[in-house]
Each structure stands twice: as structure tokens, then as C-alpha cells.
Amino acid sequence: MPCIGHPADRKAVKAKTPEHVVVVGASAAGLSAAEALRRGGYENKLTLIGAEPHLPYDRPPLSKQFLSGEWDQDKVMLRPPAHLADLDVMTRLGTPAVGLNTADRKVALATGDEVAYDHLVVATGVTPRMLPGTPKVRGVHTLRTLEDAQTLQTELESGTRVIVIGAGFLGTEIAAVAANAGVQVTLLSNASAPLAGALGPELGAEVAALHESHGVTIRTRQAAGCVITSDGSKVTGVALKNGEKLQAAVVVVAIGSAPAVRWLDNSGLEIGDGIECAPDSLAAPGIHAAGDVARWRNRLFNLRMRVEHRTNAVDQGIHVAEQILAGTRADYAPVPYFWSDQYDLKLQSYGWLRNHDEVLLTEGSIAEGKFVALFRRDNRVTGVVAARSVKALRRWRELIINKASWSDALDAL
């Protein structure tokens, strides 16, 4: 979709300090925007609206240290309890926004209240996708919230049979924690190997070997078309498309997420795969989006992207706060970064891995626990994934920023 001509492009933001900034979504991106506004000298009214009853907490540990029992709830909270009050942020937690009237600049809440804003930040993230026809019974899980993690954790007992449907980063992390806890894990992948969609088939095969060495059973090309079975009150397993029936006491569905935008129906905002924004994250006059829910053209890659990474939520929150304060229209053009923990392996990545044309393993291997892999799209280096190779990561990040050609990158090896 061309970015020129986006409704948000046509009208310049007025360089006037807002009287009331409202942030919807009280998690990484929303908190980051609120904090950056205060840091930047914004002294007027600031309201943070959140659907969940909790103060902002961190999601990455939910599939890692929290799920394994290593961390407790206090440790996943993003800030101490008094922090938002200290920042003079008015909070409306446990209060989902249910509608947006852009003409009157009002957010409607589930309580029936309306909150008027003169600048709005939308940071409502994503919600997990569920397999169609999934029975509403005990033992079926998704993992997005603290409560999801708490319930799943209680069911991951040693010896239990668990099926994880979906072998992306979330599914593989859950499989790793469960396998470490002595659970009998079957991981259903839709591709030729776990993480093959993100990392390519060769690295995917190495990820498969890593999981198998920890006792995980991997069934490739089996996630699509599978059906969760139950006895009416609890889950009994998964029926594969080929007719095979796998038994399990716990089934985790990790097949991706959808942007939390239902509350914006009829708002007039452009909604596609997320809130469609201009290259500076402006969604409409007086409205920015940040974090997992936002989709914008990242001019560094000249691609429209929506990034479900923790650091992006923080960085985009800061960016929109800066734009609101300055009244400017600066592009948001980051090099996305994420990490993933699988057993003792910490994968780290810079760039954009999706729709790559080639993955080149330049050193090491997953089995060695240390490696570097470069990603090419057309004739550019667009991404790097590595483990225990911080220097190489930094170096390739620079090349991505400098839009290095693939041939230049190969010369630099």
C-alpha cells in the first residue's frame, strides 16, 4: 500500500502541546509512551486505559522464566506499584475501550464512560488466534496474559502429555520449558521444521534437532487442519488431518495473534493487518499507534511492517511521544530486534527476516550453541540471527542500517 496519500499524511500535526493525552493499552508500548511524554516535559493530563486489571507487566518472561517457575509475579511487573501515580498518570485499569469517535475525539469505555482526548495513542497489542471449532474445555490454552501463564504453569507437571500446536517462537519456547520440566511434549509444526518460517528450513532443521535432543517429539507439516478433541469437559488430544489421533492432557495453541482492533470498528481508522499508519506512526490527525498493533511503512526497508517484538513496543512508544511533544512528522525507521530463549540457547536477531530469499550460515551451528546467520532479500542484507555472537550482531546491524548490498556483505565476511 503506498504511504503517500495515507489520510494521516495529508494533514500536518499542529505544534501545540495537547491538554489531554489518552493512551489505550497499558502494557509495554503504552507505558513507554506515557513515560516518554513525562520525560519530555509534558505536564498536562495523561490517562492510561487498560483492559487488564494489572499494572503493566512484561510478556516475554511468561513463556520463559515465569512459566518455568523461576520468576514470580512481582518479577514480571514492569514498574513498582507507585510508579504511575508518581508520574501523575491517571489509570483506568480493568476497563476496556469499546469505541472511538474521532470526530468528537472521545474514547468509549466498557463502563459506559467516555474519555475525551486531544491526542490519542493506541497501543492495544494483539490477541492469540484460536483454531476454529476448538471446544471450550479444560486443558486447552493460549499464552498471552499473566493469567494464561499461571493456568498453563499449573498443568505442566512432569510426565503429563502436552501437545503444542504451532512451532513459531512462542510454541518452541513453551515446548522448551515444558520439556525441561519433564513433560512429554509433542510439537506440531506447519512447516518442514520448527521456526522454518522465520529462520529457513536449514536452521529450522537444527532447531528441530535441539528440541529432539531434549525429548520433544516433532511432527512436521501437521499443524494445519488438526482438530482439538475433548470428552466434553476436558481436552483429550488432537486429531491430525491424516486421521491419526494424538492423546494429551494439555493442548497449547500457539498459531499466532491478531491485532486487538475490534474496538475500533466504525472509528474510521484504516484497519488492515493492524492499524495502518503513516511512516511516522500517525494513524489519523491526533492519533498515533505503537507496538504490536501498529502497521507502518518502515522506510529503512521500504516495507510495510507490523512488529511483534518487545523492544519495538518501547521504541515506538517513545517515538510517538516525541512526535506528539514536538508536533513533527519524523519517520519511524528502526532495525527491529528480538530475542528468543530455547533451553540454554539465546537467539538474537536484528532486521527483518520475513520473506527472505536466502539464509547464509556464516559461522557455527545451533548444535554448537554459537552461530551467525545472515538473511538476504533481493540484493540486500535484511537480517541477522545469532547466538553468543554479540560483536557480529552489532556489526551486521550497522550494515543493515547502511543498506549494505549482499555482495558487499559477502566481501566483508
Ligand X SMILES: Cc1cc2nc3c(=O)[nH]c(=O)nc-3n(C[C@H](O)[C@H](O)[C@H](O)COP(=O)(O)OP(=O)(O)OC[C@H]3O[C@@H](n4cnc5c(N)ncnc54)[C@H](O)[C@@H]3O)c2cc1C
What residue ranges bind ligand X (CB under 6 A)? 24-30, 49-52, 59-60, 62-63, 96-97, 123-126, 143-144, 170, 260, 263, 291-292, 308-310, 313, 338-340
Nearer of residues 329 and 337 to ligand X, judged by Cβ: 337
CA distance 118 to 120: 7
- Residue 378 neighbours by CB distance under 10 Å: 9
* Closest residue by Cα to residue 100 from 258, 275, 272: 275
The crossing angle, in degrees rounded to 10, of helices 201-213 and 169-180 is 20
Nearer to ligand X, 117 or 338 (CB): 338
Indicate the Cα dihedral angle 158, 149, 139, 161, nearest 10°.
-30
Which CB atom, from 177 or from 409, has the smaller least distance to ligand X? Answer: 177
> Least distance (Å) from ligand X to the CB of residue 59?
3
What does the DSSP assignment read for 350-369? EE--TT-SEEEEEEEETTTT
Q: Any idea how long the chain is?
A: 413
Opening angle at CA 20, ends 125 and 14, nearest 5: 95
Indicate the residue among 29 and 246 with the shorter CB distance to ligand X: 29
Q: Which is nearer to ligand X, 172 or 189 (CB)?
A: 172
DSSP for 167-207, written as a single string: -SHHHHHHHHHHHHTT-EEEEE-SSSSTTHHHH-HHHHHHH
Which residue's CB is nearer to ligand X, number 34 or number 51? Answer: 51
Q: Least distance to ligand X from the beta carbon of 381, Å?
A: 20
Which residue in the block uniquely carries the three cell numbers 476448538? 134
CB of 218 to ligand X, least distance (A): 20
CB of 240 to ligand X, least distance (A): 25
